[in-house]
Amino acid sequence: MASLKPKQVEGRNIENMIGVTEVPLGLAGPLKIKTRNYSLPLATTEGALVASINRGCKATRLAGTVTVKVEEVGATRGPVFKVKDLAQAEKLVAWLDQHFNHLKRLASAKEKHLKLVAFQPQVVGRSVYVRFVFDTQEAMGMNMVTMATDAISREIKKKLGIDCVALSGNFCVDKKGSWLNFVGGRGKKVWAEVVLPRKVVRLVLKTTPEKIVEVVYRKQLLGSVVSGSMGANGHYANIVAALFLATGQDMAHVVEGSLGITTAEITPRKVARSDPSEVESALYFSVYLPDVMVGTVGGGTHLPSQQKALKMLGLGNKKGDAVRLAEVVGGAVLAGELSLTAALASGDLARAHQRLGRGKK
């Protein structure tokens, strides 16, 4: 039954192993980001998803390229400390500031591929929450971050006599949707955008720029406000989950990757280089993901299938590969979000799922 031997994963990825769960793996693309083409490995059980992302990739490719920007925020761990009063809380925060370089050395001594870059305190009564921010290089890094934060917490106990009540005080905020991560970011912030000619929207996406803009406004934006949704998007989680599963990411971080905002606008576009005055109304489409937790080493990235998926993307343990993976996530989310929105705008969503998601030939 198992395609993995217990010795490959026990003590690292699983306990009490009884077998392996298989999920279909599909391919979409190529997705063009800057000057590079990526074939996207996508693991999913949702019919029509791979086809939809593939269509979005085609549309963006015909438009030229997807522009992606990544900002490294850092992995975070936020322990909570119990203090006697506000005076002791102030003392703790001041001590952290005064001894920050010492704590940086302590963290790096515990985990050589990790660097403490910042801390953010929050005092609430007799509780002090401290959000430690780390550069984890090519790893997603939560194991490293946890070990380093534990060492820091023990140092605080040793020097100040202040107890750490919980190594994670929900101030990280790990594996939960939160406004703190939405506003401040976590892991990596990712932006992606594309301008699509009207002809591409009509021929590939079977709709118009105006209809897509209308759907984004009334569904992704206004609909999210009405429903109290934390993310103003259509289905980031679908694409994030498929890529995460294929490449060995922590699946619980999909909830963070599902956060984000989709925007669409009508924008002028030059039709011919020979005549700058000749313009058309094209579609500007963008996605923003403030909380992308990814890595190309560690976790499940060492598993054989996941290694092959990463190699398919040209990624491994080279410097900058984690950023490049985040770029792929952003571009893929844009492609999938664009195609879904177009299907809604054209009235084809139900028909697509009837044809591709019901097991009927």
What domains sit in the chain, N to C, each tagged with a CATH number? 24-72+181-356 (3.90.770.10), 79-166 (3.30.70.420)
Which pLDDT does position 262 carry in this prediction?
A: 99
- Are residues 201 and 308 in contact, defined by beta-carbon separation less than 8 angstroms? no
Give the separation between CA 269 and CA 292, rounded to whole angstroms. Answer: 31
User: Within 13 A of 217's CA, how many CA atoms are on the CB side?
Assistant: 8
> Over the Cα atoms of the chain, what is R_g?
23
Which pLDDT does position 143 carry in this prediction?
A: 95
Which pLDDT does position 154 carry in this prediction?
A: 98
Which pLDDT does position 271 carry in this prediction?
A: 78
Residue 179: exposed, middle, or buried by beta-carbon count in 10 A (0-12, 13-18, 19+)? exposed
Which pLDDT does position 351 carry in this prediction?
A: 73
pLDDT beneath 70, residues of the chain: 1-2, 272-277, 352-361
Residue type, 192: A
Give the separation between CA 227 and CA 205, rounded to whole angstroms. Answer: 27
Which pLDDT does position 7 carry in this prediction?
A: 87
> Does 30 sit behind a cis peptide bond, omega within 30 degrees of 0 on the bond before it?
yes
CA distances from 339 to 109, 154, 160, 236, 349 (A): 47, 50, 56, 12, 10
If one counts every other C-beta atom within 10 angstroms of the C-beta of residue 8, the result is 15
Give the separation between CA 288 and CA 337, rounded to whole angstroms. Answer: 11
Among candidate residues 240, 242, 286, the one with its CA nearest the CA of residue 259: 240
Which pLDDT does position 73 carry in this prediction?
A: 98
Which pLDDT does position 357 carry in this prediction?
A: 60
The label of the residue with tokens 């998926």 reads 309
Residues marked active site are found at 46, 250, 353
Which pLDDT does position 1 carry in this prediction?
A: 35
